[in-house]
Structure 1
């Protein structure tokens, strides 16, 4: 399970300086940094180091910074038998998040990607779910130290160590810390975070992870309080929402906002607006078109209006577009656009200024932001609060490695130009998950846990989860094997697969999945998720209940392919197998022995029909439905029951043999599946009864069948009486003699005479078929003369 070469190169080069060995940076200049994405970057880097031979198990490695990336790097390297020391100025790992009330969501900034409302980070270790930063940190701190205790000779923790200098020393690196200690190591990973928010004069300072005093849900003591928010990244956009929405809580508001839309309307609209746009494109004019129309038509602006705060006067400042593609999470941008549009509609004034703030001056009557203007007129008024979101001061944070930091920045910015895909927040692929999961299981799990989780990798590899994605309002799948690939293989799948239904039954074509499972001959089984068990109870009463919906495999849209078509294709393959057996044995189920020349001509016809049916899935569906069943109005498709295939193969042989004496064509007609002559209709079937429970023999009148020929392998007793062979209505003719009517059809059935003809020779068989259809034509001619007389 080696890493693909392009991923290996990207993951290594995005963390290194060309020509400098043994030094790595994690997520330093990536955009849209999240706790989850930093962990993923750590997993990617460590795996790339391992597979490129750079994770030196003989030397020592220093990881500087005990945040999300640093802690993950250190533990991952130790699991690869590297000797790792983790350094941080704080007393504890993940100190920044340790008391944070801010909700931490692993994927929400990935919207409109599939699964972006999934609350589980789905990591092989140091995993977490949606919770406050403090709760997440507490869980991971406990896990980290528990693992460290088991890796005593591999993983070392050095608290209260602030890096003061980093310099190469031969083929090694010397790190010096503020407590006077110094370490020489073979490799260094800098995971030092991003530093404090850039400051300007007397502007308010708000720590991202701490509870704010300003801008919270509290009522303003002196309304309207004036705020200036400057910036266009996620921090600024979140501040705008926080200041404008009553009781704003990011995750809750996001989910409420998405619920305003149905069936992925918002996602489709945003993706269309973003199509072919560069990373600096101004999205606001684009959103004023189709997105604004959607917001109006669906009453979303009206829904947002009651949520607006009116006790604040907000001014938003940017030095470029507020909604710049690539500068912030797309969902944040959509929500800010919608809230501003609702404010505009409701008459809530939100001003927009432009310019780069060079200073913030504190006066007795408030704060003045220097360098901004509205419509070209300098803005010198005072604000109660000025919030700057101009990005962290990374240079100050990396001052101990200033020259190296500058070299890395230059190299990374150059890579952005040639690899814009590096801007996309990463997600952990299944292969990397498995790479670390297996090592974690082998080295850190105790006996009971190891036994419990030992089969998880195999289980997830053999399971496809079908779910309903709330983020995109679409049906999704997660699995090592794609559903389309499995469906196309069906009964020929190389391994057994479980399809776990995690979507409510009304979201899927349930009958198709049930038929697919039966058609696979045991290769595909169905289970149901615990949360949707009740909706599937009537359809799958005995299906195993899956209590976990986790999977290491990415979300994929199920797509619009037709499962029913693949089931029909499976039936054709299974009929092929039965016909091949007939060719070898010269004997057909229910029909007995068949003369060799009849059999050879019959199977040659099947080769032609096979191609015709495969070329038209709709025709194939209708043909096979009538082949297996007969209904009063329509035929039901094959239910997947393998025990009926042999009977259907017999019917197919009888149909193909009939073609030798009366040329037939597969066709989609109202009450049959074949045509012949100019406009003759025929029905060929293996059915033994009419859908609903009536026997075939109950249909004894031509108009009940409503076809001109019957080819039936399921009954030897079907008799159809012509209209002149019986008296209806107390002795009066049943139909006016001047009106055309159905005459008694030609019938080829599974009785002694027809079976004997099949086992004689081709000439005898053809003569029998020709005579039967000849009699039908004579009856037709007689009836025509009756009408014309």
Structure 2
């Protein structure tokens, strides 16, 4: 039996701790992927369980805030290993669990492609002990998570598990470890549930886990659909006219939409094989070595290796550019922000794969770049408002201010999390630690 050093457990706990007994999963972390959030949830529950088993800190009454991938994973992991006497209450503001990805057929999820070109990053399975899934449409992944979650609600756990949906009021007082809420109870029946009675109240918990995602996508004046809502931008136009689009932002959401708008028949699960063919593994090996030395911004590195490693991929990309769209990548953010530069697109705020695809599109002349204020960029490129896609990320700070009634007491802890980026999506638990349903 492997004994984990207490210092490692303490370090993991510290990376999640907001205040004594209050923990947050990935609220300010980079690497915003469903898989990474699940790994973080596993890590936190593992560390809390170790403290319970060694008598350092009991789990007691547990609250999990958020019924998405991280919240469901944390809840299932707790149900799998929490001791008799503990209980868990799950709060979700929408009227269903895993609501963001449900029914989303236009987005592709892969467990580890964000880490490409690292070893194993093309493996299709998440290989997680709790709520495992394989690459697929977001809607299929959501179904797999919900099917998996239902297996943890059984005769042994149902008396110690409670879930509320439609929670239209929720406030945490971190100092007192209290949650005030108004929501509707549900009764799980397999992967589905029946609606029960509504209730409101204020309850005290011993352990509070905030797994409420990263906040709401920033509001804009162009009615941009949420990243996870179905739309048709990846489909060819059924009109003679060529459509002009503007994508504002340079995070992963923006760069994925640029690829969908500019590359014919773009699929995240196949694009690497299509561009690099039988040279993919050799290219990955070269990239691993080069990126380790290149620093966080990859524009200069891609430029240096283009002739040696990227020329064939560029030729392949040029042969499959969409003919029915013209795309402007707006890199200045919102009007209030200072203009960014092309170089900023290739910084550490997005995956290597998305930066590489954007570089190839840039070198093929497939996209225009705008540094003007957003309104000017739209008018100068003659973009219709319905073709403006604002991907400016989530307003996490505002989200937290509304959730915590004593935000002033926890804001420094969240600022510290954002600065340290210490919730590494590295598996700290030993194989076999979590019982698999």
The TM tier, using the shorter chain, reads: 0.7 to 0.9
Query: Of 298, 303, 306, which aligns to 1:288?
Result: 303
Q: Secondary structure at the match of 2:345?
A: coil
- Partners of 1:273 and 1:287 within 8 A in 2: no
Larger Rg, first or second structure (1 or 2): 1
Query: Of 221, 225, 228, which aligns to 1:209?
Result: 228
Cα shift at 1:124? 1.0
RMSD, aligned α-carbons: 2.7
Give CA deviations for 1:466-517 in whole Å, capped at 9, x if unaligned. Answer: xxxxxxxxxxxxxxxxxxxxxxxxxxxxxxxxxxxxxxxxxxxxxxxxxxxx
Q: Secondary structure at the match of 1:275?
A: helix
Q: Which residue of 2 aligns with 1:307?
A: 320
Q: Which residue of 2 aligns with 1:97?
A: 101
Superposed counterparts of 1:251-266, under 5 Å: 251-259=269-277, 261-266=279-284
Q: Which residue of 2 aligns with 1:3?
A: 4
Query: Of 129, 151, 154, which aligns to 1:149?
Result: 154
Q: Secondary structure at the match of 1:302?
A: helix
Q: Which residue of 2 aligns with 1:224?
A: 242
Runs of 4 or more off by more than 6 Å in structure 1?
Answer: none
Q: Which residue of 2 aligns with 1:272?
A: 290
Residues 30 and 163 of structure 1, relative CA distance in 2, 3 Å threshold: farther
Query: Of 299, 302, 316, which aligns to 2:329?
Result: 316
Q: Which residue of 1 aligns with 2:23?
A: 24
Q: Which residue of 2 aligns with 1:351?
A: 368
- Partners of 2:171 and 2:405 within 8 A in 1: no
Cα shift at 1:111? 0.8
Superposed counterparts of 1:93-492, under 5 Å: 93-101=97-105, 102-150=107-155, 151-168=157-174, 170=176, 172-177=177-182, 181-182=200-201, 183-201=203-221, 203-213=222-232, 215-219=233-237, 221=239, 223-259=241-277, 261-269=279-287, 271-275=289-293, 277=295, 279=296, 281=297, 283-296=298-311, 299-319=312-332, 320=340, 321-341=343-363, 343-344=364-365, 348=366, 350-355=367-372, 357=374, 369-370=375-376, 380-384=380-384, 385-402=387-404, 408=410, 410-415=412-417, 417=419, 419=420, 422=422, 426-429=425-428, 431-437=429-435, 440=436
Residues 163 and 49 of structure 1, relative CA distance in 2, 3 Å threshold: farther
Q: Secondary structure at the match of 1:328?
A: coil
Instruction: Flag structure 1 segments of 5+ consecutive residues without an equivalent.
Output: 358-368, 374-378, 446-789
Superposed counterparts of 1:295-694, under 5 Å: 295-296=310-311, 299-319=312-332, 320=340, 321-341=343-363, 343-344=364-365, 348=366, 350-355=367-372, 357=374, 369-370=375-376, 380-384=380-384, 385-402=387-404, 408=410, 410-415=412-417, 417=419, 419=420, 422=422, 426-429=425-428, 431-437=429-435, 440=436
In 1: Cα distance, 2:149 partner to 2:275 partner: 36
Instruction: Flag structure 2 segments of 5+ consecutive residues without an equivalent.
Output: 184-197, 333-339
Residues 32 and 408 of structure 1, relative CA distance in 2, 3 Å threshold: farther
Give CA deviations for 1:358-385 in whole Å, capped at 9, x if unaligned. Answer: xxxxxxxxxxx25x59xxxxx7443121
Which protein, 1 or 2, shows the higher relative CO under an 8 Å CA cutoff with sep ≥ 6?
Answer: 2
Cα shift at 1:337? 1.0
- Partners of 2:76 and 2:130 within 8 A in 1: no
- Partners of 1:395 and 1:402 within 8 A in 2: no
Cα shift at 1:220? 5.4
Cα shift at 1:249? 1.8
- Partners of 1:129 and 1:136 within 8 A in 2: yes
In 2: Cα distance, 1:177 partner to 1:404 partner: 19
In 1: Cα distance, 2:74 partner to 2:57 partner: 11
- Partners of 2:76 and 2:149 within 8 A in 1: yes
- Partners of 1:75 and 1:155 within 8 A in 2: no
